[in-house]
Amino acid sequence: MTQPATPAKQEGPLLDGGGPRKSTSGDGAGPWSGRLFRPDVRTLSLIGVLVALALIGGVTKPDEFLATSNVQLILTQASVIGVVTVGMTFVITSGGIDLSVGAIVALASVWATTVATQEYGFAGILFTAVIVGVGCGLVNGLLIAYGGMVPFIATLAMLASARGLALQITEGKTQMVSIPSVLDLGERDAYLFGIPPLVLVFAAVTVIGWLVLNRTTFGRRTVAVGGNAEAARLAGIDVRRQRLYLYLLSGLCCGIAAFLLIVLAGSGQNTNGNLYELDAIAAAIIGGTLLSGGRGTITGSVLGVLIFTTITNIFALNNLESATQQIAKGAIIVAAVLVQRRTSHTP
C-alpha cells in the first residue's frame, strides 16, 4: 500500500508508471482509446442505411446520382443544417434542447445582409453573422443557466423573438448580397480539389465538434451534465457555466450556418432556416444522441444529416412529389429509432 491520499500533484504516486500488469483486459490505454473512430452497432447501422440509400439512388438514377457533381451537391446541401446539428448535438447531449436554431439562422442571415452591414464587405458579413448567433446563444444560455428557465421555454421565446426581429429588419424583402467575394465562395470556381468551400467548413466544424466532444474536458463535462447533472455538480463541475457555454456554442454554430446560407443563397431572407430546429433534432436523435442527455455522437448526427439530405436528393432526382417526400422522411425517422432500440442494450 503506497500513500494514495497525498494532496493532488502531478507527480503523485498514483500517476507514475503502473506496476506489473496483470489485468485480464484493459491493458495499454484501453481497448479503443487509440483509435479516432470507434464503430459501434449504431454507427454501422446508420452507415448501412446510407449505403442502402446510395444503392437505391444508384439503381434508379445511375447517371445522375453517382456523378461527382451530385455528391458535391448532397454535401453542400447538408452543410448548413449539418453545422446547426453539430451545435444541437452538444445541447441535447447535455440534457437540453435548442428550439431557436432556425430563428437564429434567419436573424443572423438577415442582419448580416443589411445594406449597412454589406458596407463592411466580406468580413462584415461573416463577423455579423457569427456575433448575432453567439449573442442569441448568450441570451439563451443566461436565461437557462442563471435564470433557471426550462430550455424548451427559453429557446421557444428566442425562436419567436428572433423570427420577429428578422421580419422587422427585412420587412419581408429578400436582401441580395452584392459583395463579390462572398458570392464567389458559393461558385464552382472556389472549389478546392473538387470540394466546395461550404463542405470544407462543414467538415471542419464536424471534426472540431467531434474532438471537443470526445477529447476535451469540455466534452466530458457536457456528457456528465447530461448524464446526471446532480452527480456532476457534486463531483465539482460548474454545471451552470457549462450550460451557458453550450448554448453559446449552439448559437455560434447557427452564426456559421447563417454565413454558409448567405453564401449558398446569395441573399438573406427572414424565412431562412425554416424548421431547422426539427431537422437538427431529428438528425441528432436518429444519429444516436439521447434526447434525455448523457450520450451524444457527432458522427451519428452527421450521418443523420447526410441520410436526410440523400433522401431528399434521391426523391428530387426521381421527380417525386413533396408529399411523398415528407411521408418517407417521417417513416425513416420512426424506422431508425426502432432499429436503434433493437440494436442498443441501453435503456
Partner 1 sequence: MAPEPPPLLTMDGITKSFPGVRALDGVDLEVRAGEVHCLLGQNGAGKSTLIKVLAGAHQPDGGAITWRGEHVTLKSPIAAMRLGIATIYQELDLVEGLSVAENVYLGHEPTTAGFVVRGRDARTAAAALLRRLGHTEIDPARLVGELSAAQQQIVSMARALSHDVRLIVMDEPSAALDPDEVANLFRIVADLTAEGVAVVYISHRLEEIRRIGDRVTVLKDGRAVASGLPAESTPTREVVALMTGRDVEYVFPERPAQLPLAEPLLTVRGLTRRGEFAPVDLEVRPGEIVGLAGLVGSGRSEILETVYGARKAEAGQVLVDGRPLKPGSVRAAVRAGLGLAPEERKAQALLMLESITRNVSVSSMSRFSHGGWLDRGAEFKAARRATRELSLKPDLPSAPVRTLSGGNQQKAVLARWLLRGCRVLLLDEPTRGVDVGARAELYAVIRRLADDGLGVLLVSSEVPEVLGLADRVLVLREGHVVHTAPARELDEHRVLDLVMEGSPAS
Partner 2 sequence: MPETPRLSAAATRRNLLFGAAALSSGAFLTACTSNEPKESTGGQAADAPVADDKPGKPVTIGFAGPQADHGWLNAINVNAKERAKKYKDVTLEITEGSNDTAAQIGQIDTLINKKVDVLVILPADGKAMTQAGLKAMRAGIPVVNLDRIFANPQAYRCWIGGDNFGMGLNAGHYIGEQLKDKKNAKVVELAGLDNLELTKQRTEGFDAALKNYPNIKKVARQAAEFTVESGQAKMAQLLQAQKNFDALWNHDDDQGVGALRAIEQAGRDDFFMVGGAGALSAMQAIESGDSVLKATVLYPPTMAASAIDLARALGQNKGIGGMAEFEIPSSITLYSAVVTKDNLKQYMSTGFK
Which chain residues interact with partner 2 by CB under 8 A? 61, 63-64, 67, 69-70, 73, 76-77, 167, 171-174, 176, 186-188, 261, 264-267, 269-274, 312-313, 316-319, 321-323
Stretch that binds partner 1, among 15-23, 106-114, 144-152, 321-329 (CB under 8 A): 15-23
One residue of 174, 228, 274, 312 binding partner 1 per CB under 8 A: 228
Q: How many CA atoms lie within 13 A of 2 on its CB side?
A: 10
Rounded CA separation 223/93 (Å): 6
Rounded CA separation 177/268 (Å): 7
Phi and psi at 251, nearest 5°, equal -60, -40
Give the shortest CB-288-to-partner 1 separation in angstroms: 12
Beta bridge partners of 176: 267
Instruction: Compute the C-alpha angle 90/92/96, nearest 5°.
Output: 115
Q: Verify binding: residue 232, partner 1, rule CB under 8 A.
A: yes
Residue placing its CB nearer to partner 2 in the complex, 246 or 314? 314
Residue placing its CB nearer to partner 1 in the complex, 8 or 59? 8
Q: Verify binding: residue 198, partner 1, rule CB under 8 A.
A: no
- Where helices occur in 61-120 by DSSP H, the ranges are 62-65, 68-93, 101-111, 115-118
| C-beta atoms surrounding 317 within 10 Å | 16
Give the per-residue contact string, 132-171, with partner 1 (x = CB under 8 A; - = no).
----------------------------------------
Residue placing its CB nearer to partner 1 in the complex, 15 or 176? 15
Listed residue (98, 221, 102) closest to 151, CA to CA: 98
237: partner contacted, choices partner 2, partner 1, none (Cβ within 5-8 A by kind): partner 1
Q: End-to-end alpha-carbon separation of the chain, Å?
A: 39
To 10 degrees, what angle do helices 101-111 and 68-93 make? 120
Asked if 317 and 65 count as a contact pair (C-beta separation under 8 A), the reply is yes
Give the per-residue contact string, 316-335, with partner 1 (x = CB under 8 A; - = no).
--------------------
One residue of 189, 230, 321, 341 binding partner 1 per CB under 8 A: 230
Measured in residues, the chain has a length of 347
Contacts to partner 1 from residues 19-78, by CB under 8 A = 23-26, 29-33
Give the shortest CB-34-to-partner 1 separation in angstroms: 8
Asked if 102 and 162 count as a contact pair (C-beta separation under 8 A), the reply is no
Give the shortest CB-242-to-partner 1 separation in angstroms: 12
Residues 6 or more apart whose CB falls under 8 angstroms from that of 310 comprise 50, 53, 54, 57, 74
Positions that interact with partner 1 (CB under 8 A): 1-10, 12, 14-15, 18, 23-26, 29-33, 215-218, 220-221, 223-224, 227-228, 230-238, 290, 294-295, 346
